[in-house]
Structure 1
Amino acid sequence: MADVDEVEVVVAHSQRATLRVGDMFLKIDSDQRNLDVEVEAMGLVPVPTPEILWRKPRVLAIAAVRGTALGRLGEPSTASPAAWAAAGAAIRRLHEAPLPPWPGRRRRDEIAAELDGECEWLVTSGSLPADLVKRNREIAGAALRPWTPVFTHGDLQITHVFVEGDKLTGIIDWSEASQGDAMFDLASLTLGHEERLADVIAGYGTDADVDVIRAWWSLRSLLFSRWLIQHGFDPNSPGCEFDVLRSRM
């Protein structure tokens, strides 16, 4: 049994789980549509993605991507400025690609209504003080302006982007890909790493709207904190969502 690879649980909750076995990742999802979107998106995007090894109903096997994640939320990133710029350049290529044939998951008015509900829950549950939530809700409003849809990753958190030295080697986890706001992707990547935003923009291009990116930092943190809490994650960990919201004060 010495040659058998150990199984590592990368993430697991009631909706999906990701396991690592050697150089293979097994993604198990309760909703087959998420895996279908992931496979189709990886076949369309002009950026490096993992190799698909095989797929079965509700299970997708992909090969590990070379290199290491750009960083982790709550920890300083050791990646070079050039690596962050390479990530920005790859995101630009993605956003300039033809739109995927499926629409965005939510309209702006739906996001606004959901945001108001999440803000109310954060206050009534005692998770955050009312003045902190109110201030970030005001900031978040700038993100809810009309935007021209682009091909977005939809969940471009820092652990989904892999680099080797100064080069980008792959972007993983495409199940949220859709037509969406370009600034949301840039905000997702730099959430909790504001000091790296200039490097990303250096690769992406000067038309990035920093005020809207900052608004998405607040909006994303307000919108997802309840889900994180209810699925066993801690948005109050150092450098994570609650710290992002406090920094806006």
Structure 2
Amino acid sequence: MSLFADAFAWLFSPDRLEGGDALPTAIAVHLFYTFVSLLIAAVIAVPVGYLIGHTGKGRELAVGISGAARALPSFGLILLLVLVIGVTQKEGAAFAAFVLLGIPSVLAGAYSGLEAIDRRVIDAARAVGMTEWQILWRVEVPLGLPLLIGGLRSAALQIVATVTLAAYIGLGGLGQYIIAGLRLRQFDQMLGAAIVIIVLALVIDGLFALLQHLVVPKGVAAGRATDIRTRSSRSRAVA
């Protein structure tokens, strides 16, 4: 308990608000790397995922690439890209690593969201004369949005945890406190920084969970509620 007390004392010390390595600045840098990388990953993966989900082509290739990308070691990938791209471009190398780690989850969320839609809904849209483009944007995208947000949620958690390693190559963020604390054996600083990273991850996860709930189409939500009430009535009748 003494270590946790020391960690919170370190966190709320007035010194954390001063200097070039102030805690708010480190949090801002950490979030900057996280959300810019997530945005780039979404720009790349969402169109590809929608194309796969709408046409049904290339799914096996996408699954294979996603599985392989998930197996990549984060730290090794960052160091490899820094060596390949160059030390002078280490920020670009870090962004490339974070984007590569975020793409699989976003890609999976995009195409699985479209694949999960009842085919009868798509057939009905074609039957009323909608074009393929209209089916995609008016039917498939709204219905598949919750799973896409779920993919973004998973990718954001992957990236926010991995951004901690950016400090190893001198890019700042909350990881700088952990690396400096390890070198100087300041365990209160290490634990304090780890607590902030955990809180950031929980906040981001909660925001995406709320967004995932809000984007469910009203008709779908109403249908789920009706289905639950029907099942409950049937269960009582059986009893």
Relative to the length of structure 1, the TM-score reads: 0.20
Greater share of residues in helix: 2
Relative to the length of structure 2, the TM-score reads: 0.21
